[in-house]
Structure 1
Amino acid sequence: MTRGFAEVKQDAPKPKPKASTALRRAASASLPIRSNPNPTRSDIQPIFTYATAERYLMQNLRGALPKGAVSLHDAWWVPKWTDSQTGKDGEVFLFANGSFVCWGLGEDEAQRFAQEVLANSGAELAPLKEAETEDLEFVTDPEENTRLQGDLIVLGRQPPLSSEDTIPMDLPQSVLPRETVFARYAFSQALSRSTALSVLESSLEEYLTSVAPLPRALQKTGKPGLGRRALVMKLGELLRFRQGLNLNRENFSDTPDFYWSEPALEAYFNSLSNALEIRTRTRSVNDKITYAAEMQSVLRELLTETSAHRMELIIIALIAVEVVICLIRDGPELWEMVSGKKEEESQSPETQ
């Protein structure tokens, strides 16, 4: 039996919106669904994305995942995971970018999944000090079309897929309808990208904060404020950001190859990617990296000039030392030679 809107809102986890995204600004578009429940529509349920590392080693996850987990294109899919404390059932998609997406599970359940499944798997590459999260909500309604409406995903009817090979015949039973498993996969991949991008954004903000005092130090003292080794380390950190943003197998700008032959799934993926402004945020991060690289280049040139000036002073000092040594070693002999010549010059007129 479908519960009233007020009860649904009370039970559903309160979202922590990221106000900068168009998805949150368009939240009002989902109000007609939220405020008008009908008999065919399910309760509003949470989607929670949780990033715990910079990357997951996907081959290491095989032995750590619960029984029934299968590889689904670029993700591991856990069709049913039951929380040990609340008893809630949900499904989980895990992606190589270091994040996983839970359908029907909230933040507490996602944390326990990370602790119970991922913590000892050896799959987390460069674990994060603090997990990055993103949350959303969904409903199922077989009488509606699958779509993103405002900040709510509706799972229902969808066009047939172009290829019969897209959906394996031996998919295990899930807690959610089998017909929309790849729609959920497409939405999950967009969500995981957004969360992984948030990890880079947070790390880059910390980096920019750490180098923010350098221009002021240069203004006040005329010195870069960093040694050569520290500057090279900062440059390496910056290059790692750009590599993570643009050069990984799954970068943030390209549409995955999987969707090229599935326009319906590509539409789901792009609709959520656009709502989360992934491409705009990627350009913004690239611009910040470019600015930081330009500042690094200026500081590096200043260090090079300083080193060159120092080398010039050292060379001058060495020449001066060599002159002094020559004077000490050969000075008396030179003086005798000069004095002797003067005496000869003074005596030569008298002789004539």
Structure 2
Amino acid sequence: MRVFTLLLRYKSFISFCVPLNPSRTTQNVRYFSVPAAKESFSSLQIKKRPVRKKPRLDEKQPGPYNVIAYATAAEYDLEKLAKGLKSQNLYTSSKVENNSDVLHALANYHVDTEPREIFFFREGSVVLWNVSDLESSNVINFLKPYEQDSYSEKLIQGESEMMNYQHQIEGKPSTLEQNGDFVIPFERNLLDKYTFSNSLALSVKLGIWEAMLDKYIDSIEYVTEDLKLGKKIKMTREEVLRKHGELFTLRHLINLSSDLLDTPDFYWDRDQYERLYVQTCSYFNINRRTKVMNEKLNHCIELVELLSTHLSDKHHIRLEWMIIVLIMVEVAFETIHYLERYLS
């Protein structure tokens, strides 16, 4: 606007300075018009790069929708949970391709055209598709009677994962966008949602274990400081043995009781979904996070074994000194008896 104002003032100045002869003024003087000034100013602007348009999704369906995953316990009793859902009559539950470790629930009452679906995994994770925050809280509270070794509310909320999903053009397979959005077909998408849910459930479960390991490391951090300063170890042999058990339990969960190190058997004869599962796990850095956790576990095990060896050595030294003292006491008594016999 300042440029346009200056141009208009410049035009007034030219009109004031030229002679009043109309014919001469018209012949020799070129006036600046406002449209011409705008055109001249716009030609000086830097041209912007053309914006890349995203692939066109299914415009008939609104979106995006939310999908959120929680890990609330070490394990769910899916058989009792299925009965509880049936008695509640709010969701219709079923298995996914005869997989006994997963329970799929579809809401009986629709809020909009997009269905609300939930996947319950036996290892203690739940993934909710197009479910509001209020309904998610109700589902988490509903799960408590069917949980084993429930986690704290702070840990559940802190390690949750929230993503978005949209619908794909009809006839195209599901994909994972670079920004992390799931793109799935509108119809016949149960296995697509299950595949995404499987990797999401694995990610939040790994997040819980990472938080547990960080808490464990904080609990033994003072020991390394005491060792560095040469102070007395303040842990007992029973406490060290308990710490050893916690480490091996966590190591067992990560490497033996989960699918962190290998692709589940479900995808062996389903190449399309296996590629989608591997791609999603790669997005969540499952392999790298698992490797880092195992390295941390190895360092913790070395530290605990060092403590165990140190405390065992101290215990052995204490026993040896007790034996030495007993021998000295026995020698003293024998000496006294000898002196009594000799003096008598």
> 1:224 Cα shift?
2.7
What is the one-letter code of the residue matched to 2:196? F
Moved more, 190-199 or 137-146: 137-146
Match of 2:104 in 1: 77
Could you say which residue in structure 2 is the equivalent of 1:45?
A: 65
1:103 aligns with 2:123: no
**How far apart, CA to CA, are the structure 1 residues paired with 2:166 and 2:59?**
12
* Kept after mapping to 1: 8 A contact 2:57/2:168: no
Structure 1 SS opposite 2:168: strand
The reply on whether 1:318 has 2:321 as its aligned counterpart is no
Q: Residue 226 of structure 1 corresponds to which residue in structure 2?
A: 235
Name the aligned partner's letter for residue 217 of structure 2.
Answer: L
Measure the CA separation in 2 of the matches of 1:83 and 1:307: 67
| Structure 1 residue 142, shift from structure 2 partner | 3.3
Q: Provide Cα deviations, 1:132-159, integer angstroms capped at 9, x if missing partner.
A: 3111000113335310012101112xxx
**What is the CA–CA distance in structure 2 between the aligned matches of 1:280 and 1:201, rounded to whole Å?**
12
The one of the two structures with greater contact order (alpha-carbon pairs below 8 A, sep at least 6) is 1
- The AA in structure 1 aligned to 2:184 is L
Cross-structure match for 2:82: 62
Q: Distance between the aligned counterparts of 2:199 and 2:342, measured in 1?
A: 85
Cα deviations by residue, 1:48-85 (Å, 9 ceiling, x for unpaired) = 0011101112223221224420121231000226599x
Deviation at 1:43, TM superposition (A): 1.1
TM-score, normalised by the number of residues in structure 2: 0.76
Which amino acid in 1 is paired with 2:253? G
Quote the offset at 1:105 in angstroms. 1.4
Name the counterpart of 1:273.
Answer: 281
Q: Does the alignment pair 1:129 with 2:152?
A: yes
- Secondary structure at the aligned position of 1:217 is classed as helix
Instruction: Report the alpha carbon displacement of residue 39 of structure 1 after superposing the two structures with TM.
Output: 2.4
Of the three residues 160, 163, 167, the one matched with 1:140 is 167
* Aligned partner letter, 1:241: L
Count, aligned residues: 280
Q: Distance in 1 between matches of 2:315 and 2:65?
A: 62
Cα shift at 1:91: 0.3
Once the two structures are TM-superposed, the CA of residue 106 in structure 1 deviates from its matched residue by 4.0
In structure 2, give the amino acid aligned to 1:79: L
Unaligned runs of 5+ in 1: 1-30, 157-175, 337-352
Cα separation, 2, equivalents of 1:102 and 1:241: 27
Distance 1:38 1:124, change over 3 A: closer
State the partner residue of 1:237.
246
For 2:53 and 2:233, the matched residues in 1 are separated by: 57
Output the amino acid matched with 2:84: A
Residues 83 and 128 from structure 1, CA distance in 2 versus in 1: closer, same or farther, beyond 3 angstroms?
A: farther
Between the aligned residues of both structures, percent identity stands at 25
Taking the aligned partners of 1:81 and 1:328, their CA distance within structure 2 comes to 94
Contact 1:79 1:90 in 2 (8 A): yes
Q: Indicate the structure (1 or 2) with the bigger Cα radius of gyration.
A: 2
Q: Which amino acid aligns with 1:193?
A: L
Q: What is the CA–CA distance in structure 1 between the aligned matches of 2:110 and 2:289, rounded to whole Å?
A: 34
Distance 1:107 1:202 in 2: 24
- State the TM-score, normalizing by the size of structure 1: 0.74
SS of alignment partner, residue 252 of structure 1: coil
Is the contact made by 2:57 and 2:167 (CA closer than 8 Å) also made in structure 1? no
Task: Measure how far apart 1:42 and its partner are.
Answer: 2.8
Q: Please say if residues 58 and 169 of structure 2, whose CA atoms lie closer than 8 Å, have aligned partners that are also in contact.
A: no
What value does the CA root-mean-square deviation take over the aligned residues?
A: 2.4
Q: Which moved further from structure 2: 182-191 or 49-58?
A: 49-58
CA distance in structure 2 between the aligned counterparts of 1:236 and 1:298, rounded to whole angstroms:
15
Aligned partners of 1:118, 1:327: CA distance in 2, in Å? Answer: 75
The Cα offsets for residues 277-311 of structure 1, whole Å up to 9 and x where unpaired, read as 11111111111111000000111110111111111
For residues 110 and 225 of structure 2, the distance between their equivalents in structure 1, rounded to whole angstroms, comes to 52
1:264 aligns with 2:292: no
273, 282, 291: which one aligns with 2:290: 282
Worse-superposed segment, 143-152 or 197-206? 143-152
1:164 matched to which residue of 2? Answer: none
3-state SS, counterpart of residue 84 of structure 2: coil
Q: 1:277 to 1:110 in 2, by over 3 A?
A: same
Aligned counterpart for 2:177 among listed residues 149, 152, 162: 149
Q: Deviations over 1:245-275 (max 9, x none)?
A: 1111x33111110100000011111111110
Structure 2 counterpart of 1:215 = 224
Q: Measure the CA separation in 2 of the matches of 1:192 and 1:243.
A: 18
Q: Distance in 2 between matches of 1:82 and 1:189?
A: 25
Native 8 Å contact 2:94 2:103 kept in 1: yes
Deviations 1:218-241 (A, max 9, x none): 223443321000111111111110
Q: Which residue of 2 aligns with 1:19?
A: none
